[in-house]
Amino acid sequence: MAAKTQAETPERKNGFRAFTSKNTNLVTFVTLAAALGLLTSGRSFEWPSIRNLMIAESVRAFAALGVGMIIITRGIDLSIGYVVCLVASVAASFAQTPDYGAALYPGKDFPIWLPLLAGIVTGGLFGLFNGVLIAFGKLPAFIATLGTMSIARGAQLIYTRAAVVGSLKDNYKSISQGALIGPIPNLAVYVAIACFLVWLLLRHTKRGTNFYAIGGNAMAARVSGINVEREIVVVYTYAGLLYGIAGCLLAGRLGLANALTANGMELDAIAAVTVGGISQTGGVGTMSGMLIGVLTLGIINYGMTYLGVDSYYQLLVKGFIIIAAVYFDMKKFARRA
Amino acid sequence: MARDGADFLLEMVGISKSFPGVRALDDVTLRVRPGKVHALMGENGAGKSTLMKCLFGIYREDSGDIVLKGRKIKFHSAKDALEAGVSMIHQELSNVPERSVSENIWLGREPLHRIGPVKLLNHRKMREDTAVLMSSLDMEIRPSERMGGLSISKQQACEIAKAVSYDASVVAMDEPSSSLTETETAHLFKIIRDLTAKGVAVIYISHRMSEIFQIADEVSIMRDGRMIGTYPIAEIDEDRLIKLMVGRDDTHRFPPVESTPGEKRLEVRGLSSANPRSFRDVSFELRRGEILGIGGLVGAQRTELVESIFGLRQLSSGEIFVDGRKVVIRSPRDAIAKGIALITEDRRGSGIFPLLSITVNTAIASLGSYLNPARFLEHRRIESESRKLNETLRTKTPSMSTLIQNLSGGNQQKVLVSRWLMTLPDILIMDEPTRGIDVGAKFEIYTIMADLAKNGKSIIMVSSEMPELIGMSHRVMVLCAGRHTGTLDKAEATQESIMRLATQFE
């Protein structure tokens, strides 16, 4: 093929510079990790630190994978935090020790799979509902998910009567807290599996390609024969299922669920994927970007805690990081219009 | 004829305007008399709209003068123009549909109550002034009515009322009748006559021959950015007008189209759009190896027709037959399954995925045929097939992973042709296939079309460029205002004959 156009430059750059300019999110992550390593004189590279980071970020990773896919289709999901909260409460309610007096179902000993199933189904249904509202109800995603956010919150308070759902069975907690493969925490293993599946979906299936097409140009996607409505329902449902898993695991990790569980997780997840290069303009982003984004925010949290930054200030910093990430993202893609 | 300045209300003298690569207006002079209707005619892209935009300060002319009532003027915005008494009624209505008629008319200059430093809208005065305005124009529109709830013609009447409320001395109307019924058009003409009786000059842009002869006092003809001439309507007839509009040297080159149309492949009977203002009762057929051109002027509903056949828009009635079998097409997916492909008119809006690679852009409509038994994408086959198609069409790109937004318009168009060829269609609909691409790339697109036809594909080409219609089509079907006004064989198709059908309303 005759290589003779104006588009040569991006591909022409070779080696290290090309790699870094294409993978700014990875560069940011490595730089921050190295800086943290220096600050902590290497302690952040020791296994306990890494293990803590994995455990702390794993639940968020599920939420990020879900909302990351949604943002690729040019959508948004604000309901994450309260859906995860509701799911955690539902799952916890079926995993309480039978002799616990304040249990939601006192004296009942449910099989171990029931809380998982109930939680994941709840998450999936919320995702489905979001998807139907957006695809067929033609509601803006922002508003639709704002509505379901409130619905999930109300449902959680009604279901738990605003009480803590605690005293979970040890075998349930060990799903999250255990480590079946050597020293690697189970949570990290689940995240790895989820990442693999999302990668497979985005990279190797027709559906994944459709997500990018819809986010890149929904009208062109329709003209190309893609069932845009169906794919939107599917992406929100997949995300809901991922939130479902997140909620189940979170309940197990904390050993309880209450109305404050996972609050603000939507912010963390959206921030993470944006830092990871999932553009709000739609049609751009990869699984690895989502994961890098989660880890980047993770080490920023870790670093601030290590440096003794007040947790209130941490929130402040996080806000600025989101704004900065979106600002640079918009600058990068502004030329497109 | 006396060219004394006093005779004219508005003079635009020696207006030139260039855009990068195009000379849109070249020394154009237009003189308009008070109390007369001055028709402005020309093909798509002749420069009529650009001229009007210069008048209203939307564009700044490179050179030339605009003189209103003997005074040289220069508007910087539409507001300037309105306040100087120059109004424009746009083809697309530009009102605020959720607000009332009176609020729309006084938008931006609402009468106010002043209570100290506080300013509040004086709704009552707005309504009363509107009522007076409407009755003076003999319009039966209630001031409090919601604008969006009115019919198109009443909305247009409101625009005219708004123009009058600014005490307009010049009112330009860009295809005002394009979405009106006959009765509504008659009412519009009555309003126009009332305006001219008050000494207002009306610039009337239309493609409809019969209307021009009904309403205009003078007619100016533009072609390729130049003013061809101004004539009193009594001194010109339809034939002459058409000749002046199209009379251009054919500088385009076309490859030979060597295919001979074979058996019937697509037949359309009595197709009507679900939108009552779009096309109605259109029938035609398309043969194997045939290139069928669809011509017409802006507002002829050509895009609406082909997009409806492709399932992007709704039909209210009519039947579609593919290879003799009746088909129902509800979505582009249905159309693709029936072997129909559509390259839309708006390459950026509904064609390319700017941030995706050439490979994905090529393969996106045919991924279903490139799955392995486990339903995963066969990247290698996708890549090689996309590469093969783009090489055949000679898409110039550094690599298949280049983002399509980095290609030139002509190369993007070739990627889109590749996309649709990958779906193995029998019928390829191309809406304005050479819009916005350079001359060399145009010729390549024409060559591709000729080759496809030779290989038995059937092509429908919607085009606004007459030489292209004549040079490439076996037959040219012409639409005017949503009606199929005729089909011309290659031998009959000339710019004059197409223009005659394209302006033949009714």
List, for residues B230-265, the tens digit of each pLDDT value.
999 999 988 888 888 876 555 557 888 989 999 999
Radius of gyration of chain A (CA): 21
Task: Evaluate whether A66 touches A138 at the Cβ level (below 8 Å).
Answer: no
Contact of A337 with chain B, judged by CB distance below 8 Å, is answered with no
Q: Å from A244 to nearest chain B CA?
A: 26
In a domain, A15, yes or no: no
Handedness of CA B315, B317, B318, B323 (dihedral sign): positive
Contact B397 A219 (CB under 8 A): no
Task: Evaluate whether B392 touches B451 at the Cβ level (below 8 Å).
Answer: no
Work out whether strand B71-73 and strand B86-89 pair parallel, antiparallel, or are unpaired.
unpaired
Q: Which of A133-147, B136-150, B318-332 has the lowest mean pLDDT?
A: B136-150
In a domain, A300, yes or no: yes
In this complex, which of A204, A221, A224 lies closest to B376 when CB atoms are compared?
A204
Task: Evaluate whether B205 touches B172 at the Cβ level (below 8 Å).
Answer: yes
Which chain B residues contact residue A204 at CB under 8 A?
376-377, 379
In a domain, A48, yes or no: no
Number of Cβ within a 10 Å radius of residue B25: 29
pLDDT confidence bin for A334, thresholds 50/70/90: low
**Per-residue pLDDT tens over the stretch B329-354:** 999 999 999 999 999 998 989 999 99
For chain B, list the domains and their CATH numbers.
5-246 (3.40.50.300), 249-339+426-438+456-506 (3.40.50.300), 350-424 (no CATH)
Query: Which of A223, A286, A335 is best to mutate for the B interface (most B CBs within 10 A)?
Result: A223
In a domain, A4, yes or no: no
To which residue do tokens 């690679």 refer? B357
Number of Cβ within a 10 Å radius of residue A104: 17
Contact of A7 with chain B, judged by CB distance below 8 Å, is answered with yes
pTM attached to this predicted model: 0.81
The structural domain count of chain A equals 1
Task: Give CA angle at A19 (A18, A21), nearest 5°.
Answer: 65
- The C-alpha atoms of residue B219 and residue B237 are separated, in whole angstroms, by 11
pLDDT confidence bin for B21, thresholds 50/70/90: low
**Per-residue pLDDT tens over the stretch B177-205:** 776 777 778 888 988 998 899 899 999 99
- The pLDDT value recorded for residue B91 is 67
| Beta carbons within 8 Å of A142's beta carbon, 6+ residues apart | A76, A78
CB pairs under 8 A between A and B: 115
Query: Which of B308, B331, B352, B356 is best to mutate for the A interface (most A CBs within 10 A)?
Result: B356
Contact B398 A11 (CB under 8 A): yes
- The C-alpha atoms of residue B59 and residue B75 are separated, in whole angstroms, by 10
In a domain, A89, yes or no: yes
Radius of gyration of chain B (CA): 26
Amino acid found at B133: L
Q: Å from A230 to nearest chain B CA?
A: 13
Interface confidence, given as ipTM, is: 0.87
Work out whether strand B37-41 and strand B63-68 pair parallel, antiparallel, or are unpaired.
unpaired
In this complex, which of A4, A223, A283 lies closest to B332 when CB atoms are compared?
A223
Taking only residues 385 to 414 of chain B, the set having a beta carbon closer than 8 angstroms to any beta carbon of chain A reads: 387, 390-391, 394-399, 401-403, 405-408, 411
In this complex, which of B354, B375, B390 lies closest to A216 when CB atoms are compared?
B354
Work out whether strand B71-73 and strand B63-68 pair parallel, antiparallel, or are unpaired.
antiparallel
In a domain, A8, yes or no: no
Contact B377 A205 (CB under 8 A): yes
- The pLDDT value recorded for residue A1 is 36
Look at A238 and A302; give whichever has higher pLDDT. Answer: A238
DSSP string computed for A255-267: T-B-TTTTTTHHH
Q: What are residue B31's DSSP bridge partners?
A: B11
In this complex, which of A205, A209, A227 lies closest to B360 when CB atoms are compared?
A209
By CA distance, what is B380's nearest residue in A? A204
Contact of A306 with chain B, judged by CB distance below 8 Å, is answered with no
- Residue B480's SS3 state is strand
Residue-range definition of the domain harbouring residue A215: 57-332
- The pLDDT value recorded for residue A96 is 95
Task: Evaluate whether B282 touches B271 at the Cβ level (below 8 Å).
Answer: yes
